[in-house]
């Protein structure tokens, strides 16, 4: 099965900083990648699919890129409400594996 990794596992940044999270697949998955945000104690929230297509209602400071095996989620200007753990998920074929998550905190 294809394995998903994320880096870093956690990060601390200041409000207004540009934040980048990397997700890597162990094999090519084209652009079949989704991103989710899970705030502490909350249910996961769907952010985007097809590596870079933002779900309706998601702030435009979130963006995604990548194809093949390497993908990034970028927050252009970190806000306090962005404190959360972010997960990537592959969906080329089953199993639809999630990455281990990246925890984002405010410095």
Chain positions contacting other proteins, by CB under 8 A: 1, 32, 34, 36, 38, 43-46, 49, 55, 85, 87, 89, 91, 94-101
Compute the least distance from the CB of residue 30 to other proteins, in Å. Answer: 10
Pairing mode, strands 102-106 and 10-13: parallel
Nearer to other proteins, 17 or 52 (CB): 52
Nearer to other proteins, 17 or 103 (CB): 103
Report in angstroms the alpha-carbon separations of 63 from 16, 19, 71, 94.
15, 11, 11, 25
Residues 6 or more apart in contact with residue 48 via CB below 8 angstroms: 34, 35, 54, 55, 58, 62, 64, 73
Nearer to other proteins, 17 or 46 (CB): 46
Compute the least distance from the CB of residue 27 to other proteins, in Å. Answer: 16
């Amino acid at each position: 099965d294809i394995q998903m990794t994320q880096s870093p596992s956690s990060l601390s940044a200041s409000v207004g900083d540009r934040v980048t999270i990397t997700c890597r697949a162990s094999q090519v998955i084209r652009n079949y990648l989704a991103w989710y945000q899970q705030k502490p104690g909350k249910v996961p929230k769907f952010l985007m699919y097809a590596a870079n297509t933002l779900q309706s209602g998601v702030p435009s400071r979130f963006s995604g890129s990548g194809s093949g095996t390497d993908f990034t989620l970028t927050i252009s200007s970190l806000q306090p409400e962005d404190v959360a753990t972010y997960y990537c998920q592959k969906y080329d074929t089953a199993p639809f594996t999630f990455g281990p998550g990246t925890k984002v905190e405010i410095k």
